[in-house]
Amino acid sequence: MKVLAILYNGFKAAKAEPRLLGTVENELGLRAYLESQGHEYIVTSSKEGPDSYGLTDVCSQTDILITTPFHPGYLTKELMAKAKNLKVCVTAGVGSDHVDLNAAVDRKIQVLEVSGSNVVSVAEQVMMSILLLVRNFVPAHEQAISGQWQVSDIARNAFDLEGKVVGTLGAGRIGHRVLQRLVPFNTKELLYFDYKALPEEAEKAVGARRVEDLKEFVSQCDVVTVNAPLHEGTKGLINKDLLQHFKPGAWLVNTARGAICNADDVAAAVKSGQLRGYAGDVWNVQPAPADHPWRSMRNPLGGGNGMTPHYSGTTLDAQQRYAEGTKKILQNYFENKPQDPGNVIVGVGKYESASYGQR
């Protein structure tokens, strides 16, 4: 079979650090395995061009496509129509919104991801992002490295997480882990918004209260963290209209998918101080252009920007997990063994995951 992987270029870093498995250079550590099984393995970072990654020729003969959320190869309906041999798409990581899932259902292309591979990584990134926004870390660090010392300029916008109301939009594998990690912080209240309730025991263990109306949910939160997949129901969900229902001066963390937020509306809210800050590592376009508004936005007191490139799920620990998970998925496929049900987004001709918006 022909296996194609779209990964990001690691350049020197990947040559120096073999644990950077998710790079073109280190090929998810799959070459020896795939070639020993008689398969052909093509690895590239190219994903631009008229057919999303300009790989129509290669893709047309590909049986198995491996992509990542960090450097997403957008698998459109049009590209699928040309990829006549494509049977399986594997996301080395979590989040398969770069694949047209409805088209995959129609074409009987399976879509799998390594569901457990980075839930902890992202939950930790959420905790870090909440703390550094609430505690106003970035302006403080900027003073430290630039030779300044003016504590009042930092402290005037620094708070404790204790006593605040924190809510997660989405209480799935990541959102639930975020709630668990928030428990010892003595927040005033933990809230969640989701299309279904947590199991009673899990809800009780984290002491979280479900709010069923989205506007009511955001209006009660000092901190909102987004932990939901991107699909037709969540795209652009956090926009100017919804932001008006946020508490004035609330903090927003989004490590889920950039396109869940309207980029311009969020940047405007930070600049006006309506949001005290926004942090996250997901962008509506990746790599983000150099002039993306989320790079330069600042609140009126000079802080409130906690952005990073999309890397939270690609720590060296996570790379090991998603490389191993990808291999396991391929082994199951080649050996005709059942897949871990948690990894199957689209089975042969039907959705298997409730996390993505069915038609």
In contact, 165 and 221? CB cutoff 8 Å: yes
What number of residues does the chain have? 359
Shortest distance, position 259 Cβ to a copy of itself, whole Å? 17
Report how far residue 183's alpha carbon sits from residue 206's, in angstroms, rounded to the nearest whole number: 6
CB of 315 to a copy of itself, least distance (A): 4
* Residue position matching structure tokens 């008006």: 244
Q: How far apart are CA 173 and CA 251, in angstroms?
A: 22
Contact yes or no for 88/146 (Cβ under 8 A): no
| 332 in catalytic set | no
Structure tokens at 279: 């942090």
Rounded least distance, CB 142 to a copy of itself, Å = 9
> Residue 46, CB half-sphere, CA atoms under 13 Å: how many?
14
Read off the tokens for 344.
């199957």
Catalytic residue (one of 71, 98, 257, 321): 257
HSE-CB at 271 with a 13 A cutoff on CA atoms is 11
**146-to-12, 94, 179, 277, 287 alpha-carbon distances in Å:** 29, 38, 36, 22, 28
310 labelled catalytic? yes
Q: For residues 85 and 296, which CB has a smaller minimum distance to a copy of itself in the complex?
A: 296
How crowded is residue 328: how many other Cβ atoms within 10 Å of its Cβ?
A: 15
Note whether 65 and 4 are within 8 A (CB): yes
Question: Nearest distance from residue 138's CB to a copy of itself, in Å?
Answer: 7
Residue 91 CA to residue 115 CA, distance in Å, equals 9
The two beta strands, 305-307 and 88-91, are unpaired
Q: Report, in Å, the least distance between residue 312 CB and a copy of itself.
A: 7
Of 68 and 353, CB closest to a copy of itself: 68
Nearer to a copy of itself, 296 or 331 (CB): 296
Q: Which amino acid is at 154?
A: I
Shortest distance (Å) from residue 104 CB to a copy of itself: 26
Task: Choose the catalytic residue: 310, 319, 321, 343.
Answer: 310
Q: Looking at beta carbons only, is 96 or 129 nearer to a copy of itself? A: 129
Among residues 118, 136, 274, 299, which one is catalytic? 118
The residue (of 81 and 151) whose beta carbon lies closer to a copy of itself is 151
Q: How many CB atoms lie within 10 A of CB 106?
A: 13
Rounded CA-CA distance 62/155 in Å is 56
Helix axes 119-134, 137-145, angle to 10 degrees: 70
Write down the catalytic residue from 61, 102, 180, 286.
Answer: 286
Shortest Cβ 115–a copy of itself spacing (Å) = 16
Q: Which is nearer to a copy of itself, 181 or 231 (CB)?
A: 181
Which of 103/165 has CB closer to a copy of itself?
A: 165
What is the amino acid identity at position 320?
A: Q
Active site residues: 118, 257, 286, 310
